[in-house]
Structure 1
Amino acid sequence: MIPSAPPDRDFPYWLVALIALGLFAFWQIVTDDIYLQVLDTLRRGMVITVMVTLVGFAMASLMGLGLALMSLSGSLILRQVARFYIEIVRGVPIIVLLLYIAFVFAPALVAGYNWLAEQVGAGTIRTRDFPLLWRAIIALAIGYSAFIAEVFRAGLQSVERGQIEAALSLGLNRWQRFRLVVFPQAIRTILPPLGNDFVAMVKDSSLVSALGVLDVTQLGKVTAASNFRYFETYNVVALIYLSITVTLSLLLRRLETRMRNGAERR
């Protein structure tokens, strides 16, 4: 059966229902003292959640782009190193990676730094001087870099070979070909899955609560344990994450549509 209209032209009834639900939840919060107290407590954790997501995703994107370029390199060693990293990291659950980075990698890194510091006569540091917040950010960046690397690789490979050959004929060097020809075309393919990874990282940032980082989830657990208002507390936690992820999804969909329309005009 052929649909009467393309899916992206359907009236967003789901969005209307979601907005109505959100307005009802907002009304419940502003008219209930318990909800207001919970929201005031969780508000401090929103800064940590946003910071973990933005910094972690920026690091993961840079690492992923580097890994993608390595996997497409003419060097066999670079290709195999990138493939080894990607397959290993993608095979480990994010929560396990968080715990490994926090309690295995970080102490080993501090021990290695202290050994070097002793050789040159510099001051040493303690493992507790390596904040759990940054251990969590590094772990998320490492975990997502492997998935983002595959997104970049697929996008770069989607550019037609003829475009690259045309750039070569114009005398562009490798960096100019990448910056002026390959990447501007690849980004249209890369953006949708990259946006999905960004939204996924917002949700996975809640895993940093396993390390005691005071994000929204951790503050929610502490608040619920102290006032025994589990229903109200986790309603607010869910509403915060839902508001962030739905807003991001709508913005990314809008950006994707504008880029697609711009490409069609050309």
Structure 2
Amino acid sequence: MKTKFYKYQGAGNDFILIDHTHSTLEHTDNQFIEDLCHRRFGIGADGLMFVTKHENYDFEMYYFNADGKLGSMCGNGGRCIVAFAKQLGIIERETNFLAVDGPHYARISENGEWVDLQMIDVNTITKDGEAYVLNTGSPHYVTIQNNLKDFDVFSEGKKIRYNQIYSEKGINVNFVEDQGDHLFVRTYERGVEDETYACGTGVTAVAMAIAKHKNQTGHIKTDIKVLGGDIKIEFDYDGANFTNVFLCGPAKLVFEGEVN
């Protein structure tokens, strides 16, 4: 039997998407998902998502990392799945859908290639030395790094992700450099176990960590550059709670095909 798939990318974070609205998702072949995400022997992607039916929401999002395992929330994946839902005719310009970390609201541009995705509120940030640790739907470690363009993100990120504190559950490791009018961010992602071109929950965590680091409050807008392009983050911060959080960026169809 052949399965139709669609390949999307959001600021270089790329995903395989499959329409599963015709039935409930009861079983997944994790090895098959890992094989599809392999960049030499499969389609190639940072993760795979199923769009499924839900009686109380427009749809439900199931996200699997490139290692084939069910993942935590993926922000850029969330934006891509909204664009996919529009392509499928499930939604038009706005949606309320369900993900692993709860309900999400999103709005999409008329051409379907720019998505503003509301993320969860965050009220807890801790410190690990000089680094910030927080959960924006996925757990993140944020550290400030000079000369980030030439920094060895893979090696240094892997050390932190697999150290004694984080190795059991894993953590995504974000390195950020303040370049004046924007933040430059590079991320080592658990589940992918490599640097990715973008991480939506990661850049959200970075924007929050820098706001706390700088003692900023009010309505904050942050422009962020990643290896795959530009992303914008907006939120309200009162010094303790981050609310009305939006991850905004591109979500584009790359190609489609069929797999056995």
Normalised to the residue count of structure 1, the TM-score between the two structures is: 0.23
Structure with bigger gyration radius: 1
User: Which one has a larger percent strand, Structure 1 or Structure 2?
Assistant: 2
Larger RCO, structures 1/2 (Cα 8 Å, 6+ apart)? 1
Identify, as 1 or 2, the structure richer in helix: 1
Give the TM-score taking structure 2 as reference length.
0.23
